Amino acid sequence: MGPGKRGLFAVAVAVVCAVTVLGAPGAAFASPSSPTPSPTATTAPDLTLPPSKDLEEVREKLDTLYHAAAVATDAYNAAEEAAKKQSAEIVALAQKIVEGQERLAKLKDRAGAAARSQYRTGGLPDEAQLMLSDDPSEFLDGAGRVLQGQRATKGLIAELTRIQEDLEQYSADASAQWTKLEANRKAKATAQKKIEKQITAAEKLESQLEEADKERLAKLQEQADQKAQTAWLDTGILDEIDGKASAAGKKAIAYATAQIGKPYVWGAEGPDSFDCSGLTSEAWKSAGQTIPRTSQEQWKQLRRVAIEDMRPGDLIIYFGDASHVALYVGDGAIIHAPRPGRTVTLAGAGTMPILAVVRPDA
Protein backbone atom coordinates (compact mmCIF):
# COMPACT_ATOMS: atom_id res chain seq x y z
CA MET A 1 0.00 0.00 0.00
CA GLY A 2 1.45 3.38 -1.05
CA PRO A 3 1.92 6.53 1.01
CA GLY A 4 -1.57 7.74 0.02
CA LYS A 5 -3.14 4.61 1.46
CA ARG A 6 -1.18 4.95 4.70
CA GLY A 7 -2.58 8.46 5.09
CA LEU A 8 -6.18 7.23 5.25
CA PHE A 9 -6.10 6.57 8.97
CA ALA A 10 -4.84 10.10 9.53
CA VAL A 11 -7.81 11.32 7.49
CA ALA A 12 -10.16 9.37 9.75
CA VAL A 13 -8.70 10.98 12.84
CA ALA A 14 -8.79 14.40 11.20
CA VAL A 15 -12.44 14.19 10.21
CA VAL A 16 -13.48 13.11 13.70
CA CYS A 17 -11.63 16.10 15.14
CA ALA A 18 -13.18 18.30 12.50
CA VAL A 19 -16.66 17.24 13.55
CA THR A 20 -15.91 18.39 17.08
CA VAL A 21 -14.93 21.80 15.78
CA LEU A 22 -17.85 22.05 13.38
CA GLY A 23 -20.35 21.02 15.99
CA ALA A 24 -19.68 24.26 17.80
CA PRO A 25 -21.78 27.37 17.06
CA GLY A 26 -20.91 28.75 13.69
CA ALA A 27 -20.62 25.50 11.71
CA ALA A 28 -23.42 24.94 9.28
CA PHE A 29 -24.93 24.68 5.85
CA ALA A 30 -26.08 27.46 3.60
CA SER A 31 -29.75 28.22 3.99
CA PRO A 32 -32.36 26.90 1.54
CA SER A 33 -34.03 29.34 -0.77
CA SER A 34 -37.27 30.89 0.40
CA PRO A 35 -40.58 30.22 -1.41
CA THR A 36 -40.61 33.92 -2.28
CA PRO A 37 -37.41 35.72 -1.28
CA SER A 38 -38.06 38.74 0.86
CA PRO A 39 -36.41 41.99 -0.22
CA THR A 40 -36.47 43.14 3.40
CA ALA A 41 -33.93 40.49 4.32
CA THR A 42 -31.16 42.48 2.67
CA THR A 43 -32.51 46.03 2.97
CA ALA A 44 -30.32 48.29 5.10
CA PRO A 45 -32.15 49.08 8.35
CA ASP A 46 -33.56 52.60 8.66
CA LEU A 47 -32.95 53.64 12.27
CA THR A 48 -34.48 57.11 12.09
CA LEU A 49 -37.88 57.98 13.42
CA PRO A 50 -40.27 59.60 10.94
CA PRO A 51 -40.09 63.41 11.22
CA SER A 52 -43.67 63.55 12.44
CA LYS A 53 -43.15 60.62 14.79
CA ASP A 54 -46.02 58.89 13.02
CA LEU A 55 -46.32 55.77 15.15
CA GLU A 56 -48.02 53.80 12.40
CA GLU A 57 -44.97 54.33 10.24
CA VAL A 58 -42.77 53.28 13.15
CA ARG A 59 -44.86 50.13 13.54
CA GLU A 60 -44.42 49.31 9.86
CA LYS A 61 -40.65 49.86 10.10
CA LEU A 62 -40.46 47.54 13.09
CA ASP A 63 -42.48 44.90 11.27
CA THR A 64 -40.05 45.12 8.37
CA LEU A 65 -37.01 44.76 10.60
CA TYR A 66 -38.38 41.88 12.63
CA HIS A 67 -39.60 40.12 9.50
CA ALA A 68 -36.08 40.36 8.04
CA ALA A 69 -34.74 38.90 11.28
CA ALA A 70 -37.26 36.04 11.01
CA VAL A 71 -36.14 35.23 7.47
CA ALA A 72 -32.51 35.17 8.59
CA THR A 73 -33.43 33.06 11.63
CA ASP A 74 -35.03 30.44 9.40
CA ALA A 75 -31.85 30.38 7.32
CA TYR A 76 -29.74 30.01 10.46
CA ASN A 77 -31.91 27.18 11.78
CA ALA A 78 -31.76 25.36 8.45
CA ALA A 79 -27.99 25.67 8.48
CA GLU A 80 -27.83 24.34 12.03
CA GLU A 81 -29.93 21.29 11.22
CA ALA A 82 -27.96 20.53 8.07
CA ALA A 83 -24.71 20.80 10.01
CA LYS A 84 -25.89 18.22 12.53
CA LYS A 85 -26.74 15.76 9.78
CA GLN A 86 -23.52 16.33 7.89
CA SER A 87 -21.43 16.00 11.02
CA ALA A 88 -23.05 12.63 11.65
CA GLU A 89 -22.20 11.58 8.09
CA ILE A 90 -18.56 12.54 8.60
CA VAL A 91 -18.39 10.57 11.84
CA ALA A 92 -19.84 7.54 10.03
CA LEU A 93 -17.26 7.88 7.25
CA ALA A 94 -14.46 8.15 9.79
CA GLN A 95 -15.69 4.96 11.45
CA LYS A 96 -15.74 3.19 8.09
CA ILE A 97 -12.16 4.30 7.44
CA VAL A 98 -11.02 2.95 10.81
CA GLU A 99 -12.84 -0.36 10.29
CA GLY A 100 -11.46 -0.65 6.76
CA GLN A 101 -7.94 -0.09 8.02
CA GLU A 102 -8.43 -2.84 10.59
CA ARG A 103 -9.69 -5.29 7.95
CA LEU A 104 -6.83 -4.34 5.67
CA ALA A 105 -4.29 -4.99 8.43
CA LYS A 106 -5.75 -8.45 9.05
CA LEU A 107 -5.62 -9.29 5.35
CA LYS A 108 -2.02 -8.13 5.16
CA ASP A 109 -1.20 -10.41 8.10
CA ARG A 110 -2.76 -13.34 6.23
CA ALA A 111 -0.79 -12.49 3.10
CA GLY A 112 2.39 -12.26 5.20
CA ALA A 113 1.72 -15.65 6.78
CA ALA A 114 1.30 -17.20 3.33
CA ALA A 115 4.59 -15.68 2.19
CA ARG A 116 6.40 -16.99 5.26
CA SER A 117 4.95 -20.46 4.70
CA GLN A 118 6.19 -20.45 1.13
CA TYR A 119 9.63 -19.41 2.34
CA ARG A 120 9.73 -22.34 4.77
CA THR A 121 9.03 -24.79 1.92
CA GLY A 122 12.10 -23.64 0.07
CA GLY A 123 10.57 -20.75 -1.78
CA LEU A 124 8.76 -23.11 -4.19
CA PRO A 125 5.09 -22.51 -4.96
CA ASP A 126 2.57 -25.25 -4.12
CA GLU A 127 2.38 -26.31 -7.77
CA ALA A 128 6.15 -26.95 -7.94
CA GLN A 129 6.15 -28.82 -4.64
CA LEU A 130 3.36 -31.03 -6.00
CA MET A 131 5.21 -31.92 -9.19
CA LEU A 132 8.14 -33.24 -7.12
CA SER A 133 5.92 -35.70 -5.26
CA ASP A 134 6.33 -39.44 -6.09
CA ASP A 135 3.25 -40.57 -4.12
CA PRO A 136 0.07 -40.67 -6.35
CA SER A 137 -2.30 -40.26 -3.40
CA GLU A 138 -0.25 -37.38 -2.09
CA PHE A 139 -0.33 -35.90 -5.56
CA LEU A 140 -4.15 -36.05 -5.71
CA ASP A 141 -4.53 -34.63 -2.19
CA GLY A 142 -2.06 -31.92 -3.05
CA ALA A 143 -3.90 -31.04 -6.27
CA GLY A 144 -7.04 -30.30 -4.29
CA ARG A 145 -5.11 -28.19 -1.86
CA VAL A 146 -3.51 -26.25 -4.71
CA LEU A 147 -6.91 -25.46 -6.21
CA GLN A 148 -8.20 -24.35 -2.84
CA GLY A 149 -5.09 -22.27 -2.29
CA GLN A 150 -5.44 -20.63 -5.69
CA ARG A 151 -9.06 -19.72 -5.00
CA ALA A 152 -8.13 -18.40 -1.56
CA THR A 153 -5.31 -16.33 -2.99
CA LYS A 154 -7.57 -14.83 -5.66
CA GLY A 155 -10.18 -14.07 -3.00
CA LEU A 156 -7.56 -12.47 -0.77
CA ILE A 157 -6.29 -10.26 -3.59
CA ALA A 158 -9.84 -9.29 -4.59
CA GLU A 159 -10.73 -8.38 -1.00
CA LEU A 160 -7.54 -6.39 -0.55
CA THR A 161 -8.30 -4.46 -3.74
CA ARG A 162 -11.92 -3.83 -2.75
CA ILE A 163 -11.03 -2.57 0.70
CA GLN A 164 -8.37 -0.27 -0.68
CA GLU A 165 -10.87 1.15 -3.18
CA ASP A 166 -13.45 1.60 -0.41
CA LEU A 167 -10.93 3.41 1.76
CA GLU A 168 -10.02 5.75 -1.06
CA GLN A 169 -13.72 6.53 -1.64
CA TYR A 170 -14.40 7.06 2.06
CA SER A 171 -11.44 9.40 2.25
CA ALA A 172 -12.61 11.37 -0.79
CA ASP A 173 -16.15 11.59 0.61
CA ALA A 174 -14.89 12.77 4.00
CA SER A 175 -12.73 15.44 2.38
CA ALA A 176 -15.67 16.64 0.28
CA GLN A 177 -17.96 16.78 3.32
CA TRP A 178 -15.35 18.69 5.28
CA THR A 179 -14.94 21.24 2.48
CA LYS A 180 -18.71 21.73 2.32
CA LEU A 181 -19.02 22.16 6.08
CA GLU A 182 -16.20 24.67 6.19
CA ALA A 183 -17.80 26.72 3.42
CA ASN A 184 -21.19 26.62 5.10
CA ARG A 185 -19.75 27.69 8.43
CA LYS A 186 -19.33 31.09 6.82
CA ALA A 187 -22.91 31.01 5.52
CA LYS A 188 -24.23 30.37 9.01
CA ALA A 189 -22.10 33.17 10.42
CA THR A 190 -23.52 35.50 7.77
CA ALA A 191 -27.08 34.57 8.76
CA GLN A 192 -26.27 35.23 12.40
CA LYS A 193 -24.87 38.67 11.62
CA LYS A 194 -28.00 39.49 9.64
CA ILE A 195 -30.26 38.45 12.51
CA GLU A 196 -28.33 40.51 15.03
CA LYS A 197 -28.20 43.51 12.70
CA GLN A 198 -31.97 43.56 12.18
CA ILE A 199 -32.80 43.03 15.85
CA THR A 200 -30.31 45.69 16.95
CA ALA A 201 -31.83 48.12 14.47
CA ALA A 202 -35.35 47.42 15.73
CA GLU A 203 -34.31 47.83 19.35
CA LYS A 204 -32.54 51.09 18.57
CA LEU A 205 -35.62 52.40 16.80
CA GLU A 206 -37.83 51.48 19.74
CA SER A 207 -35.38 53.02 22.21
CA GLN A 208 -35.97 56.43 20.63
CA LEU A 209 -39.61 56.38 21.69
CA GLU A 210 -40.94 57.88 24.87
CA GLU A 211 -42.76 55.53 27.23
CA ALA A 212 -46.12 57.01 26.26
CA ASP A 213 -45.35 56.44 22.59
CA LYS A 214 -44.32 52.85 23.31
CA GLU A 215 -47.69 52.25 24.93
CA ARG A 216 -49.48 53.83 21.98
CA LEU A 217 -47.37 51.73 19.61
CA ALA A 218 -48.40 48.56 21.43
CA LYS A 219 -52.05 49.59 21.12
CA LEU A 220 -51.57 50.26 17.41
CA GLN A 221 -50.16 46.77 16.96
CA GLU A 222 -53.05 45.31 18.91
CA GLN A 223 -55.54 47.22 16.77
CA ALA A 224 -53.83 46.08 13.57
CA ASP A 225 -53.99 42.47 14.75
CA GLN A 226 -57.65 42.78 15.68
CA LYS A 227 -58.47 44.34 12.32
CA ALA A 228 -56.73 41.52 10.44
CA GLN A 229 -58.38 38.84 12.58
CA THR A 230 -61.82 40.38 12.16
CA ALA A 231 -61.39 40.56 8.39
CA TRP A 232 -60.41 36.89 8.36
CA LEU A 233 -63.34 35.84 10.53
CA ASP A 234 -65.75 37.93 8.44
CA THR A 235 -65.08 35.62 5.50
CA GLY A 236 -67.09 33.00 7.40
CA ILE A 237 -64.11 30.65 7.44
CA LEU A 238 -64.88 29.31 10.93
CA ASP A 239 -68.24 28.04 9.68
CA GLU A 240 -66.29 25.70 7.41
CA ILE A 241 -63.59 24.62 9.85
CA ASP A 242 -64.93 21.82 12.02
CA GLY A 243 -62.03 19.34 12.17
CA LYS A 244 -61.22 17.60 15.43
CA ALA A 245 -57.69 17.26 16.78
CA SER A 246 -56.01 13.88 16.50
CA ALA A 247 -54.59 12.23 19.62
CA ALA A 248 -51.11 13.41 18.62
CA GLY A 249 -52.45 16.87 17.83
CA LYS A 250 -53.88 17.16 21.32
CA LYS A 251 -50.47 16.33 22.80
CA ALA A 252 -48.80 18.96 20.60
CA ILE A 253 -51.34 21.57 21.71
CA ALA A 254 -50.86 20.65 25.38
CA TYR A 255 -47.10 21.10 25.00
CA ALA A 256 -47.44 24.46 23.26
CA THR A 257 -49.96 25.68 25.81
CA ALA A 258 -47.53 24.89 28.63
CA GLN A 259 -44.93 27.16 26.98
CA ILE A 260 -47.11 30.29 26.98
CA GLY A 261 -45.26 33.18 28.59
CA LYS A 262 -41.76 31.92 27.74
CA PRO A 263 -39.59 34.38 25.79
CA TYR A 264 -38.85 34.35 22.10
CA VAL A 265 -35.15 33.82 21.38
CA TRP A 266 -33.97 33.27 17.82
CA GLY A 267 -32.56 29.79 17.23
CA ALA A 268 -34.07 28.48 20.49
CA GLU A 269 -35.81 25.11 20.81
CA GLY A 270 -36.67 25.22 24.50
CA PRO A 271 -37.10 24.37 27.18
CA ASP A 272 -36.75 27.92 28.48
CA SER A 273 -37.21 29.90 25.25
CA PHE A 274 -38.29 29.35 21.65
CA ASP A 275 -38.39 30.81 18.19
CA CYS A 276 -41.47 30.15 16.05
CA SER A 277 -40.41 26.88 14.43
CA GLY A 278 -38.55 25.77 17.53
CA LEU A 279 -41.90 25.83 19.33
CA THR A 280 -43.83 23.94 16.63
CA SER A 281 -41.14 21.31 16.07
CA GLU A 282 -40.76 20.66 19.79
CA ALA A 283 -44.53 20.55 20.29
CA TRP A 284 -44.84 17.82 17.71
CA LYS A 285 -41.75 16.02 18.98
CA SER A 286 -43.52 15.78 22.34
CA ALA A 287 -46.37 14.10 20.47
CA GLY A 288 -43.99 11.51 19.03
CA GLN A 289 -43.65 13.08 15.58
CA THR A 290 -40.37 14.42 14.24
CA ILE A 291 -40.90 17.27 11.78
CA PRO A 292 -38.50 19.66 10.01
CA ARG A 293 -36.89 22.30 12.22
CA THR A 294 -37.66 25.40 10.13
CA SER A 295 -40.90 27.01 9.00
CA GLN A 296 -39.76 26.88 5.38
CA GLU A 297 -39.03 23.16 5.53
CA GLN A 298 -42.27 22.52 7.39
CA TRP A 299 -44.01 24.30 4.52
CA LYS A 300 -42.09 22.31 1.90
CA GLN A 301 -42.14 18.83 3.42
CA LEU A 302 -45.35 18.42 5.41
CA ARG A 303 -48.67 17.51 3.83
CA ARG A 304 -50.74 20.55 2.95
CA VAL A 305 -54.43 20.80 3.70
CA ALA A 306 -57.02 23.36 2.70
CA ILE A 307 -57.81 26.00 5.32
CA GLU A 308 -61.41 24.80 5.56
CA ASP A 309 -60.10 21.31 6.36
CA MET A 310 -57.80 22.60 9.10
CA ARG A 311 -57.96 20.93 12.49
CA PRO A 312 -56.37 21.76 15.87
CA GLY A 313 -52.74 20.68 15.91
CA ASP A 314 -52.11 21.64 12.28
CA LEU A 315 -49.47 24.24 11.53
CA ILE A 316 -50.23 27.53 9.81
CA ILE A 317 -47.41 28.91 7.66
CA TYR A 318 -47.36 32.69 7.28
CA PHE A 319 -46.07 35.25 4.77
CA GLY A 320 -45.08 34.67 1.18
CA ASP A 321 -41.61 33.49 2.17
CA ALA A 322 -42.83 31.00 4.80
CA SER A 323 -40.85 32.85 7.46
CA HIS A 324 -43.27 32.26 10.34
CA VAL A 325 -45.26 29.32 11.67
CA ALA A 326 -47.82 28.80 14.42
CA LEU A 327 -49.79 25.92 15.93
CA TYR A 328 -53.54 26.08 15.33
CA VAL A 329 -55.45 25.31 18.53
CA GLY A 330 -59.04 25.73 17.35
CA ASP A 331 -61.74 28.42 17.43
CA GLY A 332 -59.70 30.63 15.10
CA ALA A 333 -56.72 30.83 17.47
CA ILE A 334 -53.04 29.94 17.34
CA ILE A 335 -50.17 29.58 19.79
CA HIS A 336 -46.89 30.98 18.50
CA ALA A 337 -43.58 32.59 19.39
CA PRO A 338 -43.98 35.98 17.67
CA ARG A 339 -40.63 37.78 17.59
CA PRO A 340 -37.79 39.15 19.76
CA GLY A 341 -39.09 41.05 22.76
CA ARG A 342 -42.28 39.01 22.88
CA THR A 343 -43.30 35.77 24.57
CA VAL A 344 -45.06 32.62 23.45
CA THR A 345 -48.68 33.65 23.28
CA LEU A 346 -52.22 32.93 22.13
CA ALA A 347 -53.29 34.97 19.10
CA GLY A 348 -55.79 35.08 16.26
CA ALA A 349 -55.00 32.81 13.34
CA GLY A 350 -55.83 35.58 10.88
CA THR A 351 -53.56 38.26 12.31
CA MET A 352 -50.91 37.55 9.66
CA PRO A 353 -51.17 36.64 5.97
CA ILE A 354 -51.62 32.87 5.68
CA LEU A 355 -49.49 31.07 3.09
CA ALA A 356 -50.60 27.50 3.78
CA VAL A 357 -51.73 24.96 6.35
CA VAL A 358 -49.70 21.79 6.85
CA ARG A 359 -50.39 18.65 8.83
CA PRO A 360 -47.59 16.87 10.69
CA ASP A 361 -49.53 13.64 11.31
CA ALA A 362 -51.52 11.47 8.96
Q: Which residues are catalytic?
A: 276, 324, 336
Which amino acid appears at position 259 of this protein? Q
**Radius of gyration of the CA atoms of the chain, in A:** 32
Cβ-Cβ contacts under 8 Å for 310 (sequence gap 6 or more): 241, 243, 316, 328, 357
Nearest to 156 by CA among 108, 105, 96, 120: 108
Q: Are 354 and 316 in contact (CB under 8 A)?
A: yes
DSSP classification of residue 307: G
Q: Are 179 and 160 in contact (CB under 8 A)?
A: no
Angle 227-229-232 from CA coordinates, rounded to 5°: 110
DSSP classification of residue 20: H
Cβ-Cβ contacts under 8 Å for 149 (sequence gap 6 or more): 126
Q: Which residues pair with 317 in a beta bridge?
A: 325, 356
Cβ-Cβ contacts under 8 Å for 31 (sequence gap 6 or more): 74, 75, 76, 78, 79, 187, 191
Angle 290-66-257 from CA coordinates, rounded to 5°: 40
CB half-sphere exposure, 63, CA atoms < 13 A: 15
Cβ-Cβ contacts under 8 Å for 316 (sequence gap 6 or more): 310, 325, 326, 327, 328, 334, 349, 354, 356, 357
Sign of the Cα torsion 319, 324, 328, 331 reads negative
User: Rounded CA gap, 310 and 357, in Å?
Assistant: 7
